[in-house]
Homo-oligomer: A and B are copies of this chain.
């Protein structure tokens, strides 16, 4: 999949709708991937996002130590792999190998990007005050790449109980916005 650099201040397009994402991490010569739905956009510029990474996950210590990760946005054809990634552990599994995903180099961080994902966001840890109590990490997105088309990728979103919502039609209400609100 051919990707292009994407402005980090605009990555809300990929995260605010709430899709399931893959978090990539790298620590002590090993890579890992984690399936995650508990994320939030926090600021445009600097580009900040929050992730709740439960301490029971292998990714938790890798990210806490390396202070880096990638956030990768998968589309519907990847759903079975994404579910599989969420149902095994990096403690005993090389997930790139097991799920036959492309370990793509990132530009600004050591954590790997997922070649097959629509967008790859490279992140550095900037705030960890809520990690001890809530496992909540705040990252700055320092680089991003995305496929130029489609503008609105076919993401999937988790309801729980093994059920997912898939992205439906796009509706345009820009005529109802004040110009200053059309960020």
Contacts and interface: CB of A to CB of B under 8 A. Distances in A.
A20 B104 CA distance: 33
B162 A170 contact: no
A172 interface: yes
Contact of A162 (B127, B156, B182): B182
How many of chain A's residues touch chain B, expressed as a range? 35 or more
Interface string A135-166: 01010000000000000100111111111111
A176 B83 contact: yes
A162 B176 contact: yes
Q: How many copies does the complex hold?
A: 2
Contacts of A12: 158-160
Interface string A1-22: 0000000001011001111000
Nearest to A52: B42
Contacts of A181: 86-87
A65 to B, nearest CB: 22
Contacts of A136: 42, 50
A183 B178 CA distance: 41
21 contacts: A10-B160, A12-B159, A13-B160, A16-B18, A16-B159, A16-B160, A17-B18, A17-B165, A18-B157, A38-B40, A38-B42, A39-B40, A40-B40, A41-B52, A43-B52, A48-B134, A83-B173, A129-B130, A162-B172, A162-B174, A165-B167
